[in-house]
Structure 1
Amino acid sequence: MVIQLEHVWLNRDGAWILEDINWQVKKGEHWVIFGLNGAGKSALLNLLNAYDFPTKGKVTVLNREFGKTMLGEQLRIKIGLVSSTLQQKFYLSDSAYEIVLSGAFASIGLYETPTDEIRKKAISLLKELNCLEFADRNYETLSQGERQRVLIARALMANPEILILDEPTNGLDFIAREELLETIERISNNENGPTLLYVTHHAEEILPIFENTLLLKKGRVFASGKTSDMISSSALTTFFDRPVEVLWKDQRPLITKVKQKTK
Structure 2
Amino acid sequence: MVLHLENVSMRRGETWILKDINWKIEKGQNWILFGLNGAGKTSLLNLLNAYTFPTNGKVSVLGMEFGKTYLAERLRKQIGFVSSAIQEKFRPDDNAFEVVLSGAFASIGLYETPTDEIRQKAITLLENLGCIEYANRNYETLSHGEKQRVLIARALMADPALLILDEPTNGLDFIAREQLLESIEDIMKTPDAPAIIYVTHHVEEILPLFNKTLLLKAGQVFASGDTSEMISSEQLSRFFELPVSVIWNNNRPLLSKVQMVEK
Q: Does 1:246 align with 2:240?
A: no
Whole-Å Cα distance in 1 between the matches of residues 14 and 72 of structure 2? 24
Alignment-derived partner of residue 135 in structure 1: 135
SS in 1 for 2:104: coil
Alignment-derived partner of residue 117 in structure 2: 117
Q: Does 1:217 align with 2:217?
A: yes
Alignment-derived partner of residue 164 in structure 1: 164
Alignment-derived partner of residue 36 in structure 1: 36
Whole-Å Cα distance in 2 between the matches of residues 261 and 51 of structure 1? 49
Q: Does 1:72 align with 2:36?
A: no
Shift of 1:69: 2.1
Q: Does 1:94 align with 2:94?
A: yes
Whole-Å Cα distance in 2 between the matches of residues 262 and 194 of structure 1? 50
Shift of 1:70: 2.1
Shift of 1:193: 1.2
After TM superposition, the runs of 4+ consecutive aligned structure 1 residues lying more than 4 A away are: none
SS in 2 for 1:103: helix
Aligned amino acid, residue 242 of structure 1:
L
Gaps of 5+ in 2: none
Alignment-derived partner of residue 256 in structure 2: 256
Shift of 1:260: 1.8
TM-score, normalised via structure 1 length: 0.99
SS in 2 for 1:169: coil
Give identity over the alignment, percent: 66
Alignment-derived partner of residue 14 in structure 1: 14
Alignment-derived partner of residue 206 in structure 1: 206
What value does the CA root-mean-square deviation take over the aligned residues? Answer: 0.7
SS in 2 for 1:45: helix
Alignment-derived partner of residue 26 in structure 1: 26
SS in 2 for 1:168: coil
Q: Does 1:184 align with 2:181?
A: no
Shift of 1:91: 1.3
Whole-Å Cα distance in 2 between the matches of residues 92 and 185 of structure 1? 30
Whole-Å Cα distance in 2 between the matches of residues 257 and 61 of structure 1? 37
Whole-Å Cα distance in 1 between the matches of residues 32 and 63 of structure 2? 21
Shift of 1:262: 2.3
Whole-Å Cα distance in 1 between the matches of residues 236 and 158 of structure 2? 37
Whole-Å Cα distance in 2 between the matches of residues 159 and 203 of structure 1? 28
Shift of 1:118: 0.5
Shift of 1:68: 0.5
Alignment-derived partner of residue 81 in structure 1: 81
Shift of 1:23: 0.6
Whole-Å Cα distance in 2 between the matches of residues 221 and 178 of structure 1? 29
Whole-Å Cα distance in 2 between the matches of residues 143 and 38 of structure 1? 27
